[in-house]
Amino acid sequence: MASGGGGDDDDRQQVVLITGCSQGGIGHAMARAFAARDCRVVATSRSISSMADLDGDPRFHLQELDVLSEGSVKQVVGDVIDKFGKIDVLVNNAGVQCVGPLAEVPLSALQRTFDTNVYGSLRMIQAAVPHMATRKKGKVANVGSVAALTNGPWAGSYTSSKAALHSMTDTLRLELKPLGIDVINIAPGAIKSNIGNSAVSSYNKMPEWKLYKPFEAVIRDRAHFSQGIKATPSEEFAKEAVSAILRKNPPAWFTYGQYSTISCVAYHLPIFIRDFIMRKAMKC
């Protein structure tokens, strides 16, 4: 495991803690982009082996972290503060997709989605913010999704969890400002990653749909909707997102990638037009 040293260099360098850094995903690309901007990066994921390519590079400190576990979150945040003396930037990137019609999706799957995407991020924030508040300094970047702007069919568990995260992010930006902490909503468009494969493997464990049996093929297709050939490379997305986060005055909202502009436009359309477009696109 890569580890840090002491000295003046470490005081100058920003310490960035990122969740969900498995190779091939956005978190991993952001870890590399922060390192390229001379940050000390605490890259975390559920298993060290998923970040094996970062091992041995002194710019990275690798830790196992499961955002579903309060114990894991507290331990890693505590260890990072002990080791580096600070956390300058927390990136809540870990997330899971969940595909299935809301009227039939098992509640346990929906709960797990919210536990990861919403409560997982808040677990990290509640662990890191007291430390940032004592320094009156810090940044929290929550990775939401443009999917929460259009709320189409078949992935309602996921889009509603991201909408909840966007809402929490807006509140946190106001509540954490007096503590000296900036909060940034990062809303990726369609970005090349492992999310499609993970979503398909979760989808394969879903029960057979009853009311929605005729829609099985289009529902399944929703699992890898973001992973078409024109999906934005994660490295390109990460470079732009990291630039935005590292600005002295970071933006409240950052979006980039395939479908990001069209989703922002669709958000402002009258609902009947948005529904018409979504029905056509998602075949329902």
Ligand X SMILES: NC(=O)c1ccc[n+]([C@@H]2O[C@H](COP(=O)([O-])OP(=O)(O)OC[C@H]3O[C@@H](n4cnc5c(N)ncnc54)[C@H](OP(=O)(O)O)[C@@H]3O)[C@@H](O)[C@H]2O)c1
**Nearer residue to ligand X within complex by CB, 27 or 153:** 27
Distance CA 263, CA 146 (A): 6
Q: Which of 145, 160, 169, 255 binds ligand X (CB under 6 A)?
A: 145
Pattern 240-269, binding to ligand X, x per CB under 6 A?
Answer: ------------------------------
CB of 184 to ligand X, least distance (A): 14
Q: Which residue is nearest to ligand X (CB)?
A: 95
Can residue 238 be called a binding residue for ligand X (CB under 6 A)? no
CB of 9 to ligand X, least distance (A): 29
Handedness of CA 263, 164, 112, 256 (dihedral sign): positive
**Exposure class string for 268-283: b at 16+ Cβ within 10 A, else e:** eeeeeebeeebeeebe
User: Binding to ligand X (CB under 6 A): which residues in 57-76?
Assistant: 65-68
Q: Which of 22, 113, 157, 202 binds ligand X (CB under 6 A)?
A: 22
Q: In the annotation, is 162 catalytic?
A: yes
CB of 193 to ligand X, least distance (A): 3
Q: What is the DSSP string of 111-174?
A: HHHHIIIIIHHHHHHHHHHHHHHHHT-EEEEEE--THHHH--SS-HHHHHHHHHHHHHHHHHHH
Q: Which of 13, 63, 116, 150 binds ligand X (CB under 6 A)?
A: 116
Selected catalytic residue, list 119, 158, 203, 212? 158
Which stretch in 89-97, 130-138, 177-185, 268-276 sits in contact with ligand X by CB under 6 A?
89-97
**Exposure class string for 48-75: b at 16+ Cβ within 10 A, else e:** eebbeebeeeebbbbbbbbbeeeebbee
Distance CA 156, CA 151 (A): 7
Residue 63: strand pairing partners: 44
Can residue 183 be called a binding residue for ligand X (CB under 6 A)? no
CB of 259 to ligand X, least distance (A): 9
Distance CA 103, CA 154 (A): 10
Q: In the annotation, is 248 catalytic?
A: no
CA 181 to each of CA 3, 128, 142, 251: distance values in angstroms, whole numbers, following the listed order: 27, 11, 13, 13
* Tokens linked to 150: 């259009």
What are the residue numbers of the active site? 158, 162
**Rule CB under 6 A: which residues touch ligand X?**
19-22, 24-27, 45-47, 50, 65-68, 93-96, 116, 120, 143, 145, 188, 190-191, 193-195, 198, 226
